[in-house]
Amino acid sequence: MTRLRLLSHGLRALSTDGLSGVTLGRLAEAASLSKSGLFAHFRSKQQLEIALLYEAARSAHGHVVEPAMDAPAGLPQLQALVERWLGWPMRAGLPGGCPIAAALFELDDREGEVREHVAALEREWRLLLGSLVASAVALGHLRKGTDLDQFVWELCGIYLSHHVSARFLRDPSAEEHARLAFGALLRRSGATSPA
C-alpha cells in the first residue's frame, strides 16, 4: 500500500515537475515517510524514475488504450485511441501534462537506463499505433499502400504539438487544432467510413 501511495504522489509530481523535479526527499515528505522508509521501496532515484515512468505508461494504458480497444477494429479503434490520447493526463487525475512526453524532451541529451526505458516505452507506443494503422489499411478503411511509418510519425507529431500548445503555450484551441490535423492526415490517407 505504501508503494502505491508513493507512486501516486510521485506520478503527480512527475506530471508537473518532470524527472528532475522528483526528488527522494520531496517524495518522502509528500508521502509522510522518512527517507529511509522510502529507500525500503526504491533503492535509488534512477529506480524511482523508472517505476514512475512505468506507472505513467500503465495509467495511459488504462485511460487510453483499454477503452479504445472496445471500438470496432480498424479506423474506429484508431480514432478512439487518438480521441482518448489527447488530454489523457487530466482525465487520469494528473495535474500537469503527459509525463512520458515531457521525459522525451528532458532526456533527449542524456544517456543511461532511464533514457533507455523511455525509448522502449516510445517504441512500444509507436508499434501499437502502427498496428492500428495497419489494421485500418487491411480492413479497407485507409488506402492500400499507406506508409505506416510516415503515418505514425505524423500522428506522434500531432500529439507532441498538441502537448506543447496545450501545456506550454496554454492555447485553448490546441485540441481543436490537433483534431483538424488528425482529420487531414486521415483524408490524405484515403480514410473511408467503416461498413
Q: What is the three-state SS of the chain?
A: CHHHHHHHHHHHHHHHHHHHHCCHHHHHHHCCCCHHHHHCCCCCHHHHHHHHHHHHHHHHHHHHHHHHCCCCCCHHHHHHHHHHHCCHHHHCCCCCCCHHHHHHHHCCCCCCHHHHHHHHHHHHHHHHHHHHHHHHHHCCCCCCCCCHHHHHHHHHHHHHHHHHHHHHCCCCCHHHHHHHHHHHHHHHCCCCCCC
Q: What is the CATH number of the domain that holds 111?
A: 1.10.357.10
Split into its structural domains, the chain has a count of: 1
Q: Is residue 40 part of a domain?
A: no
Q: Is residue 151 part of a domain?
A: yes
pLDDT tens, position by position, 174-192: 999 999 999 999 999 999 8
Q: Is residue 32 part of a domain?
A: no
Q: Is residue 11 part of a domain?
A: no
Q: Is residue 44 part of a domain?
A: no
Q: Is residue 193 part of a domain?
A: no
Q: Is residue 26 part of a domain?
A: no
pLDDT tens, position by position, 4-30: 888 888 899 899 999 988 888 888 787
Report field, pTM of the whole predicted structure over 0.85? yes
| pLDDT value for 194 | 62
Q: Is residue 167 part of a domain?
A: yes
| pLDDT value for 26 | 81
Q: What is the span of the domain harbouring residue 175? A: 53-188
